[in-house]
Structures are given as C-alpha cells and as structure tokens.
Structure 1
Amino acid sequence: MSEKPVQEGFAPFGDWQTWYRVIGDLNAGPLPLVVVHGGPGCTHSYVDSFRDLAALDGRAVVHYDQLGCGASTRLRDKGAGFWTIDLFLAELENLLAHLGIQNRYAYLGQSWGGMLGAEHAVRQPAGLKALVIANSPASMPTWVAESIRLRKALPGGVHETLLRHEKTGDFRHPEYLAATEVFNQAHVCRLDPWPVEVERTFAAMDEDPTVYGTMNGPNEFHVIGTLKDWTVEDRLPLITVPTLIISGAHDEATAECVRPFAERIAQNEWVVFPHSSHMPHYEERDACMQTVSAYLRSRDTA
C-alpha cells in the first residue's frame, strides 16, 4: 500500500484553535471520514486506529482533538456553562468548513463522539452522507442504570467499594481507583496490556480533567456532570442519513443503551463484536475496520 499524505494543522475557532490531522487526499473519490473521539475530554489518540481506513479505502481520514483536549486550546478556567453540546457542534461545523468538506462527508463518533454525532445528525446537515455511531448510549440515565448493573455483577465487592468512596466523594482513594480499574478491564478495554494509544489518552485526561470532570464525572460509571440527564432518544426519528451502529458484547454501552438507535433511526445496521467491550477498534481491530470500510464504501457514491 502506498503511503498516504499526512497534513496537520489548526482550525481557528473563535479565540481558540482546533488541532486536526488529515491522512489522505480530501479531494479523492471516497467520502472523507471525520473521526470524533469520546469523553467528553479524551483525545484523538485512543481512536487513532481508524486511520486504517485511509489505507483500506483510499479515503481521507480526519482526526481532531476537541476544544479543551490534546493539542487543541486548553481552557482550564472555564466552568460548566461553557462546556456545552452546542459548543462542540459549532466546533465540528467550523472544522468541516475549514477543511472544505461540509458539503460531502461521513462522520464516525465513538462513545461521546457518537452522542455528538446523533446531535449533529438530528439537525439533518445536507453534507452528511453516512453516520457511524460506535459504542454510544442514546440516554445517559440508561447508561448510568446499566453501569450500576454491570458494577454489581463484578466480583470481589467492587460495587460496594465504589459505593463507599462515592458517598464521601473520595474518587482518588487507592481502593476506589483499583475498583475502577476492574470495571475498566471488564467493560472499557479487555486487552492486557492496553494499547499505548489508549494509555496515552487516559494519561492526558488525568493530566487535564477539565472537560471530562465537568461534563461526565470522575470516571465512566459515576456520572455526576452536566450530561447526566442527556438523552436524544425522542429525537432519533429525525435522523435520515444511513447509520451504522457498532458495539461490543461486553460493552459499557450495553445493548439496552444502544437499542434506541436501532429502533428509532429509519436506515440503520447494528453490528455487535463478540469479543469486545468499549473499544472494538482495538479489541477486534481487523473485523471492526472491515465492517466500517464496507459500510462507508456502500455510501461513497452518495
């Protein structure tokens, strides 16, 4: 396979900058794919594997760090009123326009990125030709309820340990962190060791938890941030673009979390990866890439 051109840059966004990277030619035939990371507050690193699609399909693959994350402008002094869904939608639209692809593109969002993708798609942007929602809930109350169910099923008193420290708000206690790690190994990424790209993202979030802590909370399952009541379930029928839904059999985004996308989006396909939790793009990398590639290729003439 020939080497694809790589371009990195910054898209001005108000007084700030959004870092992005393009692998491949945005003017080539296949739909350019914008890959949107989760969190909120992660970095592009842990979804970097989707760069494989540039080699598989010859399509341009765009990664970016959302505002407050990674190489984009950090804003540690901003409070809850600043970090909103509308902010991240505006940043996405700004990036699409900066790259000149706003009239024809595909979107892949993982976890929070899929939530943002649903919010984007219900607005029916004319240029969106394909949507991939990866490991995402349609409702945070459902996510929280399912997280509690998953916690209770873990061995060794993990749930009780978590509850004890959540009551005191001591989220940095070694016992709490150890119990969190048990959950993460079961339902976030089942690989041992974790890929360096995943470790890199978690280290970045630990170094600057501004966005994640504000919108989500201290971890994946104790959601006390501004998104705790979020849902898109009632608006999903507004999504008219063909949509691929992917999840893992052991995913923290359980079938109950994901099912509303399949039930309420008119044109959809749902694929569950049997050996994966929240990151089939690493846990079953080849199968995941082939699945996404085939779906996007079916939309390239749109």
Structure 2
Amino acid sequence: MLLLFFTAAAALLALCITTDGTDDRSNVSITKSGGDTHEGYIDVTGGRVWFRVVGRSSAGTPLLVLHGGPGASHDYLEPLEALADERPVVFYDQLGCGNSDRPDDPSLLTVERYVAEVGEVRDALGLRRVHLLGQSWGGGLAAAYALSPESDGVESLILSAPLLDTGRWIADQQAYLAAFPEEIQETVRKAESTGNFDTPKYQEAMGAYYARHVCRLPAWPDCLNRTFEKLSLPVYLGMWGPSEFTCTGTLRTFNVTGRLADIPVPVLFTCGEHDEAPPATLAYFQSLVPGSELAVFEDASHEHHLEATDAYLAAVREFMRRIDAA
C-alpha cells in the first residue's frame, strides 16, 4: 500500500506545473489552467508542440496519447478524457499538426524526429512512468518509441488500429477497395494515375470508403470533424502521400513488425471489425508479441473508440488497471 501511495504521489508531483505561466522546466509554458486541467506549449526540436493534461490530481500512472494521421490532431481522441478519473491523461499535437507550430521544413517529417519528440514531451512534463496509447500512425509511433533506447519508464502500450507496416497497410486498403463497385474502383484508379484527387467523383468515392472503414457513425462526432478541419496536408503528404491507397512520403518503408517481439512491456492491440487495420492483420501483429492481447469491436472501424466508446474505454481501463496492480 505504501508503494502504491508513493507511486501515485510521484505521478501527481510530476504534473504539478504552476498556473502563472511558468514551470521549473524552462521549455514549458502554460497558456490555460483551471481546476484539474491545464494546457500550454513545449519547446521541441523544430518548434513548439501544444499539450493538454486532464486529471492532474488523479493518482494513477499517467496515460500519454499519440494521435494518428499523420497530420491529424488530438481532438478526435477526446473521449479518452473519461479515463482521467483514475490517472492523468496527456494529449499533445505533434509538430506541424493541430494547435502546434507548423514549420515549413520537410526535413522534420521523419519517424526518428517524431520518436525523439515523444521523449521531449515526456521529459518536459516529468512523465517518468507512463502508459502509452497510439492510434493509427500514432500506434506506429508508440511502437517505434517503445523500441528506442529512450523508452525507459513506459509501463505498457495500447496500439489502436496501428500502422506498423506500410506495405501491409496499403495491401489491406487495396483488398477493401476491391469489394466496392467497379465505378468507385475506377474513380480511385484514375485519380491515382492522373494525380487529380480534387474531382467530385473522387471525393464521393472516398466518402463511401470512409463511411465503411474509417467511421461508420451516420453523423460524425464534433471531435472527429474538428480533426479533419485541422488536418495538416503538408504533414500528411510529406509523411504519407496523396491518398490512403498510396504512400510516397517518409513512411513508405516504415515497418516495425520484425522487431515487435522485442517490445519489453505488455501490449494491448485494438481494432474494429471493419477497420483500415483489419482484425486479421492485428491478429498477425499480436502473434509476434508474446503475451499481448487483442480486442476487436463489432460493427466498428478505424475510429472504434468513437463507434464503441464504452466498450473501448472499459477495455483500455481494465488493461491499465492490471498493469498498475502487477
């Protein structure tokens, strides 16, 4: 019991940033603070990233959340704030994304720099012990960080619909596309061959694809709409490429599957039944990580944390509780 007390106290003290816009770490500035929440900016390589901490006074090991995209923002992951009743939940927008600085420097758009950024955020906020949750590209980032020498203190990984192998990701999307009517397939092929992705027919085709494999809710939640409104095209194009079916950016050779067995902490994989990261692919990834777990959510897709929120939060909550108690 004493060990649990001191662990909780350490987690709390690590996040006790003052409310006058300063911090004992010179690379952190607070722009807004109230109650159990504060937000601000952290100086990282290449600029400043925006962060938000919810549940500062909660006693459990903090949860650090890595958004996807690449080029998205934290907004669509806001339902995870519900976990702040047990532990601090820390969000941040990766450099070039959302509320963070958007430097015009393509050399910053590398996996290595974003991995280093995770460490810079942890150091700035004093997150000595942390659970790490990554969604989509954020899942690949979380895995890459967990495999880096700087990952000491990471207690577990939650990889939600993760991008772990670009080649397999593209193959999965192509397989899904083959199940659509020929007209939609031809529209996508034409856009891919001409480089013209702005036609109404292509937008309609992508709308049909997204409705089946990205978010199946009839009306998208505000938090997801905000993420799409804030989407950083320079980051998406620079790291990924022109469409979900083609990768020409810095992630084109990304593949950590050969190293998954070396992840030294417990891992929970999650996906939706109709996810861009399909259950069969996630089952394969799980087979490469001894002792890992997989939760598949029925009638859900890539945004299964929005489509099956209660079940998703329950699975993540129970997983972290078990790790904390071990």
- TM-score using structure 2 length: 0.86
Q: Partner of 2:67 in structure 1?
A: 37
SS at match of 2:285: helix
Task: Specify which of 97, 105, 108 is matched with residue 78 of structure 1.
Answer: 105
Distance 2:162 2:46 in 1: 30
**Is the Cα–Cα contact under 8 Å of residues 65 and 71 in structure 1 kept in the other structure?**
yes
Most deviating of 251-260 and 158-167: 251-260
TM-score (normalizing by structure 1): 0.93
Q: CA RMSD in A?
A: 1.6
Q: 2:125 aligns with which of 77, 82, 99?
A: 99
Query: What's the counterpart of residue 241 of structure 1?
Result: 265
Would you say the 8 A contact 2:270–2:296 is kept in 1?
A: yes
Give the Cα separation in 2 of the matches to 1:15 and 1:250: 37
- Do the aligned partners of 2:69 and 2:136 also contact (CA within 8 Å) in 1? yes
Unaligned runs of 5+ in 2: 1-33
AA matched with 1:37: H
Aligned residues of 2:163 and 2:277 also touching (Cα < 8 A):
yes
SS, match of residue 100 in structure 2: coil
**CA offsets, 1:130-150, max 9 Å, x none?**
110001132110110110110
Q: Match of 2:98, SS?
A: coil
Q: Which has the higher contact order (CA 8 A, sep 6+)?
A: 1
Are 2:54 and 1:23 equivalent residues in the alignment?
A: yes
* Number of equivalent positions: 292
SS of the equivalent of 1:199 reads helix
The answer to whether the 8 A contact 2:59-2:88 is kept is no
Once the two structures are overlaid, the 10-residue window that deviates more, 169-178 or 11-20, is 11-20
Q: Flag the 1:285–1:148 CA change in 2: closer, same or farther, 3 A.
A: same
- Maintained 8 Å contact 1:139/1:257: no
Alignment partner of 1:128 is 2:159: no
1:62 aligns with 2:79: no
Once superposed, which parts of structure 1, at least 4 consecutive aligned residues long, lie more than 4 Å away? none
Please list the CA deviations of residues 92-129 of structure 1 after superposition, one character each: whole Å capped at 9, or x if unmatched. 1011011101x210000000000001101122622000
Residue 113 of structure 2 is aligned to residue 87 of structure 1: yes
Note if 1:9 corresponds to 2:37: no
The 2-side partners of 1:201 and 1:219 are apart by 17
What SS is found at the alignment partner of 1:298? Answer: helix
Q: Aligned letter for 2:220? A: W
Kindly indicate whether the alpha-carbon contact (under 8 Å) linking 2:214 and 2:276 is maintained by their aligned counterparts in 1. yes
Instruction: Work out which of the two has the higher radius of gyration on C-alpha atoms and give 1 or 2.
Output: 2
Counterpart Cα distance in 1 of 2:35 and 2:205? 42
User: How far did residue 267 of structure 1 move?
Assistant: 2.6
Q: Percent identity?
A: 37
Unmatched 5+ residue regions in structure 1?
Answer: none
Matching residue's letter, 2:184: V
The equivalent residue for 2:204 is 178
The equivalent of 1:109 in structure 2 is 134
Question: Which position in structure 2 is the counterpart of 1:217?
Answer: 241
What CA distance in whole angstroms lies between the structure 2 residues aligned with 1:179 and 1:288? 29
